[in-house]
Amino acid sequence: MSVECCAPGPALTFAHETPADGVPIEELLDRAFGPGRFAKSSERVREFADFAPELSFCAWEGGRLAGVVRMWRVNVGETPVVFLGPLAVEPDLQSTGVGGRLVERACAAAEAAGEAAVLLVGDPPYFERFGFTGAPEAVMPGPVEQRRVLMLPFTDVTLSGPVRPR
């Protein structure tokens, strides 16, 4: 399913990620994060998590991939949640609202799917505007700045324990 979006920012078409999107997504992630992306704690999560393509989105500007957000099924302790990331936007489109629109779309899809919460590692000032708050008891694999571990709950849930496979 794709939907034309008329919100502020560039004219975009949003669609669920498909296998054919893999190469352009990897190229975008390389441009956005460089080779250091493979050393991050979030990458450790993606190594064991179940990919959720029905909650993941690509933003297309004409035929160009403008941005991507991926979602993954995990548990925090015994609580099933989805893990958001990576979120990447073409450098020339950053600060135009593309990333925010992707976050909103992915979180709305997770809530509609009945997920308890979305977990991520990110910049608090950016993600707090979407309702994310600290998740001080969620334990990421590997080193991470705990203040950057954030959650957006959809139910009355406390996230406590290691992030692990669902």
- Residue boundaries of the structural domains of the chain: 2-165
Question: What local confidence, expressed as pLDDT, does residue 61 receive?
Answer: 92
114: number of CA atoms within 13 Å, CB side? 0
Cβ atoms within 10 Å of 37's Cβ, excluding its own: 15
* Full pLDDT tens readout for the chain, 166 residues: 333 434 456 789 999 999 999 999 989 988 887 776 655 667 788 889 999 999 999 999 988 999 999 999 999 999 999 999 999 999 888 889 999 999 999 999 999 999 999 999 999 999 999 999 999 999 999 889 999 999 999 999 999 999 999 9
Per the rule left: phi > 0, alpha: psi between -120 and 50, beta: everything else, 47 is alpha
| Superfamily (CATH) of domain 2-165 | Gcn5-related N-acetyltransferase (GNAT) (3.40.630.30)
